[in-house]
Structure 1
């Protein structure tokens, strides 16, 4: 085994390359990144990037010298258009094919498009990559941007809302569910977050669906909901989730089901191909069923597993999934999967700024959530056990 190719230069792909070297792999490693920028951290794009007074710069995942120092070939601006499993090679749009002995798919996910009339208007934004963040930051900074409508009350939607409120905008969040962040957090956390953000000026409309993005002269002017209600807006931000980038895997005949299907070693249905990060659907030891998790922690953890397996090393111990979000004075963090619990234990601070929530199934702690208690994460992680 002399050649490993990694498709994707995000946290999962770069972490896999670094872990291969750390595990002693001495052959060729090639990382193919679709974007022209040096691999960068995505979480800041919906946080400090949108609120910084100075023009922000991307935060590198690794400094430029890291790749040369570790003999990792990083090819930027490379779009892979075909995977040939029989020949064990991948074809790029503008360069031709390169072969591999092992392949790691770290293709990530893309913003789920909002499919309603008006979705193509100029001032409808998504937030997934550097280009999205730069365009949204510019729009928020314009003097004629006073009102912002956000479709989707997930983590990205609330972070954008927090950034917009910090800049003095009027913000309305339209969410199809009965509460925000329902996919990742318990009602105890989301109710607290809702109350705090409302106090800061964010308006919420729950159990609502968008029928149309209204526009005039090619620009969005607001939302029309199925109920008939209208939400005026100078810009619209769609944050309705992400779709795994499985196009190459599907084309190559790999097993896919809500993501690229992998086993506990991150192996796909081809013994020479692995998948890690946002594109992969794996059985999580702390959940007990296949699940696709879109966090930087999960991407890095899965990369370590794949690299260890390729190098014939023991797999690293399972770590509970975790997420974090900065929301207008709140650092919200979660451990485990907030599902399948039957008992909730909550403790709060006297000033209501900090709280800790533990979620149990019987006597087993299945998840823990904190607000403004970052030092609690290490102890809480030790208390969680796999299913």
Structure 2
């Protein structure tokens, strides 16, 4: 084993490269990134970047010295178009081929597209990369853009709603489900958060089906709901989930099902190909079912597991999934996976602006959620790990 190639340039790929060196791998490591920039932090894209007074630059995950110091070859602007498993090569757009002994796919995910009339109108945005964030920031900074409609009340939708609200915009969030963040948090947490956001002026419309994006002269002017109601909007943001970038794996006949299927060591159906991060679907100990988890914590942990297995070293300790979000001055944090619970217990807090909820399946605590208790997440993660 002389050469490891990592496709993708996010936190998963950099963590994997670093962990490979820490575990003693001395061969060649090559990271192939599609964007023409150093790997950068993505959480600020839906938060601080949108409200910055000046257009920020991408915040690198690691300094350029990281690659030199760890003897890692990083190639930017490299779109991988195919995998040749027989020849053990990846094909880069233009035809160049890169040989590998071990391949790690860290290709991430992309915004789930919406299929509506008017979706291509000007000032309709998705949010995944820095260019998306810069374009949305530019639209939000325009004084004439007063009304913002957000389709989807997931984490990204609420973060953009929070940023637009902070900028003084009239923000309306439209969600097909009965509540916000229904895939990642319990009703007690999401209702507390949306009620506080509503007090700050964010309007929520649940059980809402949008069937058209309205426009005038190719510029968005509003949305139409399935009941015929129209809502004016100068900016529309679509945040209805993400799709794993699994096409390379699918075309190479790797096992996929809503993501690249991997075992507990992050190994795909090809023993020389691993998948980590947002593109990977692995059995999680919290659910005992294959699941795709789109968090930084998950991406880093899976990268460390894959690197340890490749180097023949013990896997790092498994810790429960976790995520965090900043919403209208609230720090929302969750540990574990909020599914399969049959009881929620509210824990006492010292002030009315904070909340702590424990989620149980029978007598076993399977998740915990906090609002404005930033020091509790690590302790709750330890508690869950012991159960």
Deviation at 1:386, TM superposition (A): 8.0
Contact 1:173 1:203 in 2 (8 A): yes
Deviation at 1:351, TM superposition (A): 4.0
Moved over 4 A (4+): none
Work out the CA distance in 1 between the residues paired with 2:39 and 2:98. 21
Q: Does 1:208 align with 2:208?
A: yes
The SS at the match of 1:305 is helix
Work out the CA distance in 1 between the residues paired with 2:386 and 2:276. 20
**Structure 1 pair 276/21, CA: closer, same or farther in 2 (3 Å)?**
same
Work out the CA distance in 2 between the residues paired with 1:256 and 1:210. 31
Deviation at 1:57, TM superposition (A): 2.0
Q: Give the alignment's Cα RMSD to 1 decimal.
A: 1.0
Deviation per CA, 1:293-332: give whole Å up to 9, x if none.
Answer: 0011110110000000000001111110001000001000
Work out the CA distance in 1 between the residues paired with 2:59 and 2:356. 30
Deviation per CA, 1:42-101: give whole Å up to 9, x if none.
Answer: 011111111122322222111111001111000001000010000000010136001000
The SS at the match of 2:198 is helix
Q: Does 1:144 align with 2:124?
A: no
Contact 1:286 1:386 in 2 (8 A): no
Contact 1:365 1:385 in 2 (8 A): no
Deviation per CA, 1:241-268: give whole Å up to 9, x if none.
Answer: 0000011001100000010000000000
**For 1:44-123, what aligned pairs fall within 5 Å after superposition?**
44-94=44-94, 96-123=96-123
Work out the CA distance in 2 between the residues paired with 1:233 and 1:122. 12
Work out the CA distance in 2 between the residues paired with 1:350 and 1:271. 52
Contact 2:40 2:61 in 1 (8 A): yes
**For 1:162-311, what aligned pairs fall within 5 Å after superposition?**
162-311=162-311
Work out the CA distance in 1 between the residues paired with 2:166 and 2:58. 21
Deviation per CA, 1:154-202: give whole Å up to 9, x if none.
Answer: 0000000000000000000000000000000000100101100100000
The SS at the match of 2:240 is coil
Q: Does 1:325 align with 2:307?
A: no
Work out the CA distance in 2 between the residues paired with 1:118 and 1:150. 15
Work out the CA distance in 1 between the residues paired with 2:118 and 2:130. 24
TM-score, normalised to structure 2, is: 0.98
| Corresponding residue for residue 10 of structure 1 | 10
Work out the CA distance in 2 between the residues paired with 1:146 and 1:348. 40
| Corresponding residue for residue 159 of structure 1 | 159
Greater shift in the superposed pair: 124-133 or 87-96: 87-96
Work out the CA distance in 2 between the residues paired with 1:386 and 1:219. 54
| Residue-pair matches, total | 387
Gap runs ≥5 in structure 2? none
Work out the CA distance in 1 between the residues paired with 2:242 and 2:386. 27
Greater shift in the superposed pair: 377-386 or 320-329: 377-386
Greater shift in the superposed pair: 37-46 or 345-354: 345-354
| Corresponding residue for residue 316 of structure 1 | 316
Deviation at 1:349, TM superposition (A): 3.7
Work out the CA distance in 2 between the residues paired with 1:88 and 1:21. 22
Contact 1:285 1:386 in 2 (8 A): no
Contact 2:55 2:134 in 1 (8 A): no
Work out the CA distance in 1 between the residues paired with 2:82 and 2:209. 37
Contact 2:319 2:385 in 1 (8 A): no
Gap runs ≥5 in structure 1? none
The SS at the match of 1:384 is helix
TM-score, normalised to structure 1, is: 0.98
Work out the CA distance in 2 between the residues paired with 1:233 and 1:348. 41
Deviation at 1:285, TM superposition (A): 1.1
Deviation at 1:385, TM superposition (A): 3.6
| Corresponding residue for residue 30 of structure 1 | 30
